[in-house]
């Protein structure tokens, strides 16, 4: 028996995206037909201000396809010679009603979000944390690649149109040879390079979806897209580098830009607290290493006495416990990017309230206090350079106490 499925459509977002990119209104039938591949549709709702001239004709079509139009009044505020729309209320209402649906209909296993708005990432995280499968349908060129990464599946709207066209001419055209996913990966990186676009994992996958119509790394035997890219790097097809807290993908013959490592990545593994105390100066303060002494004063790391962020004082016991458990759930040792991402996910789920800068300070404080132990190693056998990874110090009493609390 197919799983139950619910659809939530950000009509204004998908309408504007399809009209802008393809000069046509959204194809409701194509969206529903694709959604049925993931389960039995038990609810479908579209959100917009239906009094607006661009959307006024849509409700009859939506009703005839079993989609309930949800009216959200658009708000206006003065903006010079014209009025400027405020559409945040539509996003908020969709998220609130989706969360409410989640509570009252636990039997629904799959949620389809038709949008390209990255503001829905916290909603995707909420649904997945409740064990739900999340499918995002959006126009690739107008969809946040972070939203693509956060969902279980992403379906390019262009692929829906292509599938409809292919269905009409399938009998008249010879079958195409199956594309090599690794060649498509290289082509995607080349296309992004020519366009001067960023080449983080989400953007590369998005480009592959544009080229192929759809792409799922699990069909190639990989749990995550990152694993697929790493395998391509092992084969010498691409190179990867940690840059701006995200993994960037380059071509093998391409010169990788020299990017200064973060302070954390540049640090060598530190001595344990006991050793550091033994090697302390005569006045009981830890001595500087030779590398630290050569740095300008403003670049030298602060000692624990002068640290601006203190784990025990600036975090509540709950926050410290939650962070430790989040890091503990990662495969050890973990990269800085993985640790940063795990804490950022806590913030997106509402379990913490930390800015990006505060998250960095937390990780730096965990290193300074010995909660994290750094080590430099190669991520895999044929990698071109060592990368700094970090392991949670599970034998530390404070960490033991945090992980022991249920």
Of residues 324 and 293, the one with the higher pLDDT is: 324
Gap between the Cα atoms of 189 and 278, Å rounded = 51
What average pLDDT does the segment 288-292 reach?
Answer: 44
Please give the mean pLDDT across all residues of the chain: 76
Burial class (CB in 10 A: 0-12, 13-18, 19+), 33: middle
Short-list 20, 82, 9, 79, CA closest to 50: 9
Cα 216 from chain centroid (whole Å):
16
User: Does 100 share its domain with 231?
Assistant: no
User: Does 189 share its domain with 338?
Assistant: no
Alpha-carbon distance values, 67 to 41, 103, 272, 320 (Å) = 10, 21, 61, 45
User: Does 8 share its domain with 143?
Assistant: yes
Q: Which of 122, 142, 167 is the last residue of a domain?
A: 167
Looking at the chain, the whole-number percentage of residues with pLDDT higher than 90 is 18
Q: Which of 45-59, 201-215, 223-237 shows the lowest per-residue confidence on average (mean pLDDT)? A: 201-215
User: Does 150 share its domain with 30?
Assistant: yes
User: Does 282 share its domain with 227?
Assistant: no
| Tokens (6 digits) for 166 | 């292919």
Q: Which of 167, 200, 223 is the last residue of a domain?
A: 167
Whether 296 is in a domain gets the answer yes
pLDDT at 404: 75
User: Does 289 share its domain with 236?
Assistant: no
What does the pLDDT look like over 168-185, one tens digit per residue?
Answer: 554 455 545 567 889 999
What average pLDDT does the segment 320-341 reach?
Answer: 82
User: Does 160 share its domain with 15?
Assistant: yes
DSSP state of 258: -
Whether 239 is in a domain gets the answer yes
The CATH number of whichever domain residue 231 belongs to comes to 3.30.420
Give the pLDDT band (50/70/90) at residue 112: very high
Sheet strand arrangement including 372-377: 334-335, 387-392, 372-377
The CATH number of whichever domain residue 269 belongs to comes to 1.10.10
User: Does 245 share its domain with 268?
Assistant: no
Whether 322 is in a domain gets the answer yes
Q: Is 298 helix (H, G, I), strand (E, B) or coil?
A: helix
Q: Which of 132, 167, 202 is the last residue of a domain?
A: 167
User: Does 71 share its domain with 32?
Assistant: yes
The CATH number of whichever domain residue 61 belongs to comes to 3.40.50.1010
Q: Which of 17-31, 139-153, 164-178 shows the lowest per-residue confidence on average (mean pLDDT)? A: 164-178
CB 236 within 8 A of CB 230: no
User: Does 312 share its domain with 224?
Assistant: no
Whether 172 is in a domain gets the answer no
Whether 96 is in a domain gets the answer yes
Give the pLDDT band (50/70/90) at residue 384: low
What average pLDDT does the segment 73-78 reach?
Answer: 64
pLDDT at 177: 54
User: Does 48 share its domain with 139?
Assistant: yes
Centre a 10 Å sphere on the Cβ of residue 113 and count the other Cβ atoms it contains: 25
pLDDT at residue 357 above 80? Answer: no
Question: Which residue range forms the structural domain that includes residue 326?
Answer: 263-404
Whether 372 is in a domain gets the answer yes
User: Does 40 share its domain with 132?
Assistant: yes
Q: Which of 11-15, 71-75, 91-95 shows the lowest per-residue confidence on average (mean pLDDT)? A: 71-75
Q: Which of 153-162, 251-260, 389-398 shows the lowest per-residue confidence on average (mean pLDDT)? A: 251-260
| Total structural domains within the chain | 3
pTM: 0.48
Whether 176 is in a domain gets the answer no
Whether 399 is in a domain gets the answer yes
Alpha-carbon distance values, 280 to 284, 296, 340, 369, 375 (Å) = 6, 21, 31, 16, 22
């Amino acid at each position: 028996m197919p799983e139950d499925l619910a659809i939530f459509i950000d009509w204004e977002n998908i309408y504007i995206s399809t009209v802008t990119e393809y000069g046509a209104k959204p194809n409701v039938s194509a969206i529903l037909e694709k959604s049925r591949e993931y389960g039995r549709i038990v609810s479908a709702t579209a959100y917009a201000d239906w009094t607006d001239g661009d959307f006024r004709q849509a409700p009859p079509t939506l009703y005839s396809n079993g989609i309930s139009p949800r009216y959200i009044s658009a708000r206006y505020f003065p903006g010079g010679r014209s009025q400027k729309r405020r559409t945040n209320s539509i996003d908020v209402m969709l998220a609130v009603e989706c969360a409410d649906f989640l509570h009252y209909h636990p039997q629904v296993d799959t949620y389809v979000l038709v949008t390209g708005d990255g503001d829905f990432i916290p909603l995707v995280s909420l649904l997945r944390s409740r064990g739900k499968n999340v499918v995002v349908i959006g126009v690739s060129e107008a969809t946040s690649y972070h939203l693509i990464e956060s969902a279980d599946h992403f379906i390019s709207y262009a692929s829906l149109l292509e599938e409809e066209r292919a269905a009409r001419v399938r009998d008249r055209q010879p079958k195409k040879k199956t594309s090599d996913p690794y060649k498509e990966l290289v082509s995607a990186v080349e296309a992004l390079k020519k366009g001067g676009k960023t080449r983080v994992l989400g953007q590369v996958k998005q480009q592959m979806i544009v080229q192929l119509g759809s792409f799922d790394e699990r069909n190639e035997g990989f749990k995550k897209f990152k694993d697929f890219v790493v395998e391509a790097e092992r084969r010498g097809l691409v190179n990867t580098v940690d840059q701006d807290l995200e993994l960037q993908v380059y071509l093998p013959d391409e010169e990788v830009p020299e990017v200064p490592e973060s302070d954390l990545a540049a640090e060598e593994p530190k001595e344990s607290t006991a050793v550091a105390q033994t090697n302390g100066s005569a006045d009981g303060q830890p001595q500087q290493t030779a590398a630290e002494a050569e740095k300008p004063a403003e670049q030298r790391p602060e000692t624990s006495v002068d640290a601006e962020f203190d784990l025990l004082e600036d975090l509540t016991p709950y926050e410290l416990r939650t962070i430790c458990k989040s890091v503990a759930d990662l495969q050890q040792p973990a990269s800085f990017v993985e640790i940063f991402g795990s804490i950022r996910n806590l913030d997106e789920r509402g379990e913490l309230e930390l800015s990006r800068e505060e998250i960095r300070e937390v990780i730096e404080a965990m290193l300074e206090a010995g909660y994290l132990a750094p080590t430099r190693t190669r991520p895999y056998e044929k990698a071109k350079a060592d990368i700094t990874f970090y392991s949670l110090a599970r034998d530390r009493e404070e960490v033991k106490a945090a992980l022991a609390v249920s």
